[in-house]
A = this chain, B = another copy of it.
Amino acid sequence: MDPRIREHAEIIATHSVDLQEGDNVVVDAHPVAEDLVVALHEVIGDRGANPLTTSQRTGKRGLRAFLRAADGEFETPSHELALIEETDVYIAIRASDNVTQTADVDPEVSAAYQQAHHPILEERLSKRWCLTQFPAPANAQLAEMSTEGYENFVWDAVNKEWDAQRELQANMVEILDPAEEVRIVSGETTDVTMSVAGNPTLNDYGERNLPGGEVFTAPVPDSVEGEVLFDMPLYHQGREVTDVSLEFEDGEVIAHSAGKNEEVLTEVLDTDEGARRLGELGIGMNRDIDRFTYNMLFDEKMGDTVHMAVGRAYDDTVGEDNERNDSAVHVDMIVDMSEDSFIEVDGERVQEDGTFVFEESED
């Protein structure tokens, strides 16, 4: 077994979910991720915890067969809920042998299934949990990479010195957390300002998401003004939307366009009122993620990028006295900040062409 797989398992156990003796653990994985499942079983055995392996979320061939045969009416399965209620640690491994396995499932049936499973999702999120990636060939293909190249990419991004990454990111949290106003400028196409006053900034350093590597907060919903061109393509429900451009006034998207599949963007924005407002501002700081791979678990943490999401804001990123933007959607989109770009916080440039002010001072 590639030693980086054991390293990955060790980081999940020690850094991400703080595995303890006696913990009841569920590992959910597709069989293509078997090596990581085996490495996790070694760690789980070593720590005196109790493993159970399922392939519920990611065993997509079975799920597809089930959903195509079902009538679209689902109840919350009480055995799955009982399992998660008695679980301390939930480890979800993303990996597939075909990332479009559920392409021929009726989206309404899928949505009804997700809806019935919502109490199980909520229960999982109340535990120590981690979502990570195994570099299976089909995932490499989605990233338009060779399997070996993608393996290197994933394990470089995941098997990091997370304490050092946390400290690097803490510099940015220190700037953003007490800030009032943020301005993001890139080339001629992006110049947007927003208030983050009173909203906490969180440091994501590889706990619930592995890889981590961003700091993020929520804009005050009606404060966003200006224009943004998102350089990186947006993938929504299997469709690629390129060159998304949004214009904000009083926090609301008043104009939008896209190079390809603009109607997908329109659908997203028309979901509900909150879908036309921002729910997240994030700053990608994991420089081992140096390319776009059509996988938001990685893309939003890419070094030298910022991302904004239309839709729902995370509870933890909204101050007690502030409004939380609510929506059925949360769709992230990414701006490349590596060239001809800067981030200003309360009038001071804190990043220019991808280099942070606290990095310059360390030179």
Contacts and interface: CB of A to CB of B under 8 A. Distances in A.
A181 to B, nearest CB: 47
Nearest to A37: B62
Contact of A45 (B54, B67, B84): B67
A69 B45 CA distance: 5
Interface stretch (A75-83, A183-191, A230-238, A345-353): A75-83
A85 interface: yes
A78 B26 CA distance: 12
A50 B79 contact: yes
Given A31-B31, A53-B54, A56-B53, A62 B79 contact: no
Contacts of A55: 53-55
Contact of A66 (B45, B61, B71, B80): B45
A87 interface: yes
Interface size class, chain A:
35 or more
A42 B54 contact: no
A149 interface: no
Question: How many protomers of this protein does the assembly include?
Answer: 2
A230 to B, nearest CB: 38
Interface in A62-100: 62-63, 65-71, 73-75, 77-87
A80 B34 contact: no
B56 A52 contact: yes
Contacts of A66: 41-42, 44-45, 51
B38 A61 contact: yes
Contact of A65 (B39, B52, B86): B39
A52 B39 contact: no
A55 B56 CA distance: 11
A27 to B, nearest CB: 8
A135 interface: no
A79 B75 contact: no
Contacts of A56: 52-53
A46 interface: yes
Contacts of A31: 31, 34
Contacts of A119: none
A23 to B, nearest CB: 10
Give 8 nearest A-B pairs by CB, closest first.
Answer: A45-B69, A31-B31, A50-B77, A79-B86, A24-B79, A83-B83, A45-B70, A45-B66
28 contacts: A22-B75, A24-B77, A26-B79, A31-B34, A34-B62, A38-B65, A40-B62, A42-B65, A44-B66, A44-B69, A45-B65, A45-B69, A48-B73, A50-B75, A50-B79, A51-B62, A51-B66, A52-B56, A52-B79, A53-B56, A53-B59, A53-B62, A54-B54, A54-B55, A79-B84, A80-B83, A82-B85, A83-B83
Given A22-B75, A41-B63, A42-B66, 14 more contacts: A24-B80, A34-B62, A38-B61, A39-B65, A45-B65, A45-B67, A48-B73, A50-B80, A52-B79, A52-B80, A53-B59, A55-B55, A79-B84, A82-B83
